[in-house]
Amino acid sequence: MDALCKLNNTFFIADEVQSGYGRSGKFFAFQHYKVTPDVISIAKGMGNGFPVGGVLIHPSIEAKYGMLGTTFGGNHLACQASIAVLDVLEKERLQEKTKSLEMYFKTKAAQIPQIKKVKGRGLMLGIEFDFEVSELRKKLIYEYHIFTGGSSNKNLIRILPPLTVQEHHFDSFFKALEKALK
């Protein structure tokens, strides 16, 4: 991918707004592949709910005066929130835990015959059924108070828990899912 971009004099931009900061099991999702982006966009995991975003630019791109602008650049509170997130990620080893939680989730999902496929990595997961899941998602939220994500694939439920999720949270989810599927 990055070689093709270089061949065509085009920047390779990795959109890590949702997938960055350990959500995929690696700090950046692109690290699962043998690619080197020129630009990386980051945001959601960066502030753990505090609104902050950033752009990482490869050192081979020479900065020039006026190249980058910012509306709220250098906001001290946003910067402190971002540093706190990195500290917690490291101290609680959340990125490493993501990998084991992914396996735990997939093991639990395999026990439910209505689930046809588990997609994704780390804590960016989806469970696919052979039927449209809109009513199932409504049942999960209204009867069991469990919010799930939708998808353009109408048979897929997206699961995007925080990195602090624990096995017992998945146990509660799968228990409610089994009841909702009856």
Distance CA 45, CA 24 (A): 11
100 CB contacts (<8 Å, ≥6 apart)?
none
Q: Decide: helix, strand or coil at residue 117.
A: strand
Query: Which token pair is 89?
Result: 């990620």
| Successive 10-residue mean pLDDT values, the chain, 182 residues | 85 94 94 94 91 91 77 83 95 94 98 97 97 97 96 96 95 98 94
Q: Decide: helix, strand or coil at residue 135.
A: helix
The rounded Cα 33 to chain-centroid distance in angstroms is 16
Query: Which token pair is 159?
Result: 């699961």
- Residue 63's pLDDT is 78
Domain 2-91: give its CATH architecture. Answer: 3-Layer(aba) Sandwich (3.40)
State the pTM of this model.
0.86
What are the residue boundaries of the structural domains of the chain, listed by start? Answer: 2-91, 94-181
- Residue 105's pLDDT is 98
CATH topology of domain 94-181: Aspartate Aminotransferase, domain 1 (3.90.1150)
Instruction: Give the 3-state secondary structure percentages of the chain, helix then strand then coil, rounded to 5.
Output: 40, 15, 45
- Residue 72's pLDDT is 67
Please give the torsion angle defined by the CA atoms of residues 25, 91, 55 and 63, in that order, rounded to the nearest 10 degrees.
Answer: -120
